[in-house]
Chains A and B, each alone.
Chain A
Amino acid sequence: MGEALVITSGKGGVGKTTTAANIGTSLAMMGYRVVLVDADIGLRNLDVVMGLENRIVYDLVDVVQGRCRLRQALIRDRRFESLFLLPAAQTKDKTAVNPEQVRDLCQELEKENDYIIVDCPAGIEQGFRNAIAGANKAIVVTTPEVAAVRDADRIIGLLEASELRNPLLILNRIRSRMVKRGDMLDVEDVIEHLAIDLLGIVPEDETIIISTNRGEPAVLNVNSRAGAAYRNISRRIVGEEVPLIDLEANGSFVQRVKRLFGLRTG
């Protein structure tokens, strides 16, 4: 019996889709059977981040409305046999599905997979309610900015009201240099306000943009700092104890030289 995790944030643009793609991919790298579900109906993106946009035939709405079988809509990843994507519909809107249908869908997927990763749309309306309906656990992604943390707080309240207790936090796009000079909220500040458990921290990293350009999640790149952070997060999801990534490592000369020669630093 698998577990369904929803990746949510409230605010848009904080890295939900990137997080879903990287967690899903690294769980598959570890040998788990994973389905990524894009619940952002009308604005699908997970297919592009995964580099699978040319292989879509059916989508989530087709499955829910009975136009195809679930198996037909699942796209197998090019790199990992045990990784699948259920894309969102692009031409419909979020009212094409309801929370009960998503719950049934997740239950069906849990039978044959270890992890279902649901990428939630921004906002707190029906798209959000659809996305969280089938989840057993929630991961809240935020960045160290007032607006993003505020929205995360609202989302945490809504999750707890919907019986998704103890959501876990990922603090994304941390710039250690700005934190050091006192121009960015740090992990402690955010945790203190939100009062939830930390699942992981991810540094701001240009390799994320490059990997999105290529459709190759950053966890596949051994030289990506963000990729290393997401691999750590996935190991924590499966129950391993992994220390937080050292944000300072980025600036050290030795680290840079090592990376230049392709040595692992994460």
Chain B
Amino acid sequence: MLELLQRVFGREASRTSKYLAKERLRLVLMHDRMDISPQILESLRADLLKVITEYMVVDEGATEIALHRGQGSVALVANIPVLKMKRLPQKLKN
């Protein structure tokens, strides 16, 4: 019923100003919180490498990890050169 009314008055959920506010808030908070310290980024890098090196040998010295902000989105971009694949751990083979 409410849905019908909303359609009649041309206000789908995604058009309400509340929806806009939510979306803008999400982005603005993400950008604000991106301001993370180099120590935290370094700790993230170390944790990522710990997981990745279980599967492959990578060039740790040439690894780059950074947060990139674009229009309307934020991405964690990691460039990790692979030197050699490891044999898959037994537990993953099944």
- Residues of A at the B interface (CB closer than 8 Å) are 145-146, 149-150, 153-154, 157, 179, 181-186, 189, 193
Contact = CB atoms under 8 A, between A and B. Distances in A.
Contacts of A184: 17-18, 21
B16 A185 contact: no
B19 interface: yes
Nearest to A183: B17
A146 B18 CA distance: 10
Given A182-B11, A185-B21, A189-B22, A146 B28 contact: yes
Nearest to A145: B21
Contacts, number: 43
Nearest to B6: A182
Interface of B: 11, 13, 16-19, 21-22, 24-26, 28-29, 32-33
B59 to A, nearest CB: 35
B16 A182 contact: yes
Given A182-B13, A182-B19, A184-B17, 15 more contacts: A145-B21, A146-B21, A146-B24, A146-B25, A150-B32, A153-B29, A154-B32, A181-B11, A181-B16, A183-B17, A184-B21, A185-B18, A185-B25, A189-B18, A189-B21
B29 A150 contact: yes
A189 B20 CA distance: 12
